[in-house]
Amino acid sequence: MNASAAGQVSEALARIRRLDPHLRCVLTALEEDASARAAALDAAPPTPRGPLFGVPVAVKDNICTSSGATTCGSKILADFRAPYAAHVIERLHEAGAVVVAKTNLDEFAMGSSTENSGFFPTRNPWDVERVPGGSSGGSIVAVAARLVPYALGSETGGSIRQPASFCGVCGLKPTYGRVSRYGLVAFASSLDQVGPVAVDVPGVVRLLGAIAGRDERDSTSVGEPVPDYEGMLAESPGRIRIGYAREYFGEGLHPETRKATEAAIEVYRKLGADVREISLPHSAYTIACYYIVCTAEASSNLARFDGVRYGHRTKEPADYIDMYSATRDEGFGPEVKRRIMLGTYALSSGYYDAYYLKALKARTLIKSDFLEAFKACDVIVSPTTPTPAFRFGEKADNPLEMYLADIYNCAANLAGIPAMSIPCGFTESGLPIGLQLMAPHFAEGRLLQIAHAYQKATEHHLRKPPICAE
């Protein structure tokens, strides 16, 4: 890659112009702003330069930037310009990176396929007739197609890991509180977390090191010291203890996904890892618990989009109530409306105890399962998703089936633990398959060491989608 910031940015923008018409992963290319920033970096004194000097980065469009729109993939925010930049954007700038694009997503990060974007769907670079996963589909595709080396996504219930699996790249959801949520447009505040996306583990490490750490503006940001992740990656992982949960290898798991996951576990055995079966007995409650908690929080968070302060407002309303209801009806898509209604119902008088309070109790049990399991292992491995990428429209008319695409992912968000997906194989038709690794709170360094050990022994992450040859 070109050593100058201007050269790196120019190459990334050229690839976006050439390939994005086929993929539709970019909502806004920040060409003018990115080029100006790159030129300023090159003109600055040569030392000291940040660890990401001149590196082009794509950012999910629910993360506020001071240039370009921040739409959250929704028509209700189609023309919204954030008055400030998110903490992670400030950290990227401090590291010398250049944000070159805002990427597509399921509207307000609510979806598992990026079919729910208010503007257009994003396509999987391995097969453009298939979904890339969601909701961070745009960021994942930008990295998978090598438009940019790194991207930021966000997770509420697998929104980085699931598309990373579908598109054959590495995506990490850090521990809740490891990365500031300041400037991330809220979906479900107790679950949301910003995370890095890259082709390989060293790339994830570089990006995580740049964005992790305490931020006083986010009350959920934790002051836990940030380790030297790159230094840890250079060290031997030592004795590795791998746990696999029987609950994640049951009914509904695609045979080729099962085979690839079991082969990955065998790789760890050959590396000398101690592999043992563990149990997460409350896994059966994960999806129900997640979709009560996240919809309840979404119902509250999305009340701010009322046509009064910012965003879309309906034309010529009859009165205030009509303005409020018509604005939201016109601005929100069907999936967002569905989740707002589900959440409002779960929080309503007479149903709060029956649904929301019970879901919080189930969440505590799910978290306790992980705390107990990690007494016997360093990481828990599983398939990232039950199937490879599905075709467009295949699950669109069945919300429950779509929600089950995240069945192996939501538990890590409910428990607040770090989890990532790395490529572990391909189907006979050439679709990527991901391996999920989950670790105890703030054990990202150990998780990344163990993931890197696997990548040093395999080559799945080196394979590029066909569109990269164009």
The 10s digit of each residue's pLDDT in 36-85 is 999 999 999 988 899 999 999 999 999 999 999 999 999 999 999 999 99
Which two three-digit tokens encode residue 268?
């760890």
60, 75, 102, 395: the active-site residue: 60
What is the model's pLDDT at position 404? 75
Q: Does residue 427 carry a pLDDT above 80?
A: yes
Q: Would you give the end-to-end CA distance of the chain in angstroms?
A: 18
| Chain segment 155-164, per-residue pLDDT in tens | 999 999 999 9
- Residue 394, domain member (yes or no): yes
196 cis-preceded (ω within 30 degrees of 0): no
> What is the extent of the structural domain holding 458?
5-243+258-279+371-469
The pTM of this model reads 0.97
Q: At what angle do helices 87-94 and 201-211 cross, to 10 degrees?
A: 110
- Residue 158, domain member (yes or no): yes
What is the model's pLDDT at position 372? 97
- Residue 322, domain member (yes or no): no
Q: Does residue 103 carry a pLDDT above 60?
A: yes
Amino acid at 396: A
Active site residue 117: no
- Residue 168, domain member (yes or no): yes
What is the model's pLDDT at position 98? 98
What is the model's pLDDT at position 395? 85
What is the model's pLDDT at position 398? 77
Return the residue matching tokens 């909701």.
135
Burial of 43 (0-12, 13-18, 19+ CB in 10 A): exposed
10, 67, 74, 135: the active-site residue: 135
Q: Please report which helix (H) or strand (E) contains residue 60, including its range.
A: strand 56-60
136, 139, 159, 299: the active-site residue: 159
Please tell me the distance from the alpha carbon of residue 282 to that of residue 415, in angstroms, as a whole number. Answer: 12
- Residue 23, domain member (yes or no): yes
Active site residue 300: no
**Mean pLDDT across 255-263:** 97
Q: Does residue 468 carry a pLDDT above 80?
A: yes
Domain holding 264: CATH number? 3.90.1300.10
Provide the number of structural domains found in the chain: 1
What is the model's pLDDT at position 1? 53
- 3-state secondary structure at position 253: coil
Task: Yes or no: say if 423 and 432 are a contact pair by the CB < 8 Å rule.
Answer: yes
**Listing from the earlier edge strand, what are the strands of the sheet with 26-29?**
26-29, 98-103, 56-60, 150-155, 193-198, 170-173, 419-426, 432-438, 379-383, 241-245, 274-278
- Residue 253, domain member (yes or no): no
Please tell me the distance from the alpha carbon of residue 281 to that of residue 215, in angstroms, as a whole number. Answer: 35
pLDDT band at 267 (very low <50, low <70, confident <90, very high): very high
- Residue 306, domain member (yes or no): no
Please tell me the distance from the alpha carbon of residue 406 to that of residue 156, in angstroms, as a whole number. Answer: 11
Please tell me the distance from the alpha carbon of residue 45 to that of residue 388, in angstroms, as a whole number. Answer: 48
From 107-116, 126-135, 178-187, 306-315, the region with the lowest mean pLDDT? 306-315
- Residue 60, domain member (yes or no): yes
Active site residue 159: yes
pLDDT averaged over the chain?
A: 96
